[in-house]
A = this chain, B = another copy of it.
Amino acid sequence: MSIVQTAAAALRPVVVGVDVGGTKVLAAEVSPEGEVLRVARRRTPGRRVEEALVETAMDEAVAEVVAGRRLGGVGVAAAGFVDAAGERVAFAPHLPWRGRRVRAHLAERWRVPVLLDNDANCAARAEASYGAAVGADDALVLTLGTGIGGAVLLDGALHRGSNGMAGEFGHMQVVPDGRGCECGGSGCWEQYSSGNALVRHAAAALADGATGALADLVAASDDGLTGPLVTQAAEQDDPVAVAAFASVGDWLGVGVANLVAAFDPAVVVVGGGVSAAGDLLLAPARVALERSLVASTERVVPPLLEARFGPEAGVVGAASMVRDALGRTPRTRRRSRRRRPT
């Protein structure tokens, strides 16, 4: 960067993405190229507190990131159901918001453009803008964490659905009268293909007396059996861990085949903590996808790709959402704003 470019960048207002999850609030300054430049974290105050307390935690994290510079806009990724208008968090399992007009409250606090969407949609925006879904008109983006988050990109835009609830792939039933799910249903896909399913599979094998790298790692860990430990053990070829990924991957492929039959996307992107295992997860998933997909020899089977972004997908996508909106501001307004003395 030349000195002139550096000076221009310093004057440019800061665009921030905020990801509000069940345990933490992550705020980040994100560059126009999707790079995370600076981050701040706060603990999420819990779900049995006053609704505004979450916004106070967000406020603190954003202020720390902005550090006295000019704020241009904030995109918010929320772990919950956001309505079709992007105004309210209808409900969120781990947050106190119940139908709260989160977007308006935050825009009033910060006095800049604020946009709100759910975390899975924001992760999809990150992949579509800078990651594995760049250039794909139609893409499905799955986030395998505790459960399955999902987002639908059609003609390059997010399909949010008439309630803003499109992409709830994790609660499609794949087993009649199957495993009970937190949603109240049974046999939901995320009961068979998710971080929870991975740990459950490995835990059952260990309870049956399996030994090896995973058993050793668990014995040495303060936190007991976790998803990252299963990934670590699978990378060391531990048979229990590899079998857990094979099962979760096989179910991933079966469910993706169902989605491909319905949407016929050009690409399917898999992110979230479980996807950090890469081909340990995706190789068995690709086999199951080819096997389960209708007319797989008569079509181009979409590639099943690992997401580019990890835990920062939410903030990157949230920032991209608001940056896109700022870019759509009519030219005259942008010009007059530039002319304003600063």
Contact = CB atoms under 8 A, between A and B. Distances in A.
A75 interface: no
A261 interface: yes
A107 B171 CA distance: 46
A168 interface: yes
Interface in A283-316: 292, 294-295, 298-300, 302
Nearest to A163: B299
Contacts of A24: none
Interface centre among A81, A183, A261, A263 (most CB of B within 10 A): A261
B173 A257 contact: yes
A294 B168 contact: yes
A175 B173 CA distance: 9
Interface centre among A259, A263, A294, A295 (most CB of B within 10 A): A294
Copies of this polypeptide in the complex: 2
A189 to B, nearest CB: 9
Contacts of A165: 261, 264, 295, 299
Given A173-B254, A173-B258, A173-B292, A263 B161 contact: yes
Interface string A236-252: 00000000000000000
Interface string A55-93: 000000000000000000000000001000000001100
A174 B174 contact: yes
A110 interface: no
A259 B166 CA distance: 9
B138 A161 contact: yes
A163 B183 CA distance: 34
A81 B298 contact: yes
A265 B175 contact: no
A91 B298 contact: yes
A171 B300 contact: no
A172 B172 CA distance: 11
A185 B154 contact: no
A152 interface: yes
Nearest to A302: B162
B262 A166 contact: yes
Interface string A156-181: 00011111111111011111100000
Contacts of A185: 292, 294
A262 B264 contact: no
Interface in A185-217: 185, 188
A152 B167 CA distance: 15
The 8 A-B residue pairs with the shortest CB-CB distance, nearest first, are: A161-B264, A171-B294, A166-B264, A172-B258, A162-B266, A163-B299, A168-B261, A165-B264
Given A165-B299, A171-B261, A174-B176, 4 more contacts: A90-B298, A161-B264, A172-B258, A185-B294
Interface of A: 81, 90-91, 137-138, 150, 152, 154, 159-169, 171-176, 183, 185, 188, 254, 257-259, 261-266, 292, 294-295, 298-300, 302
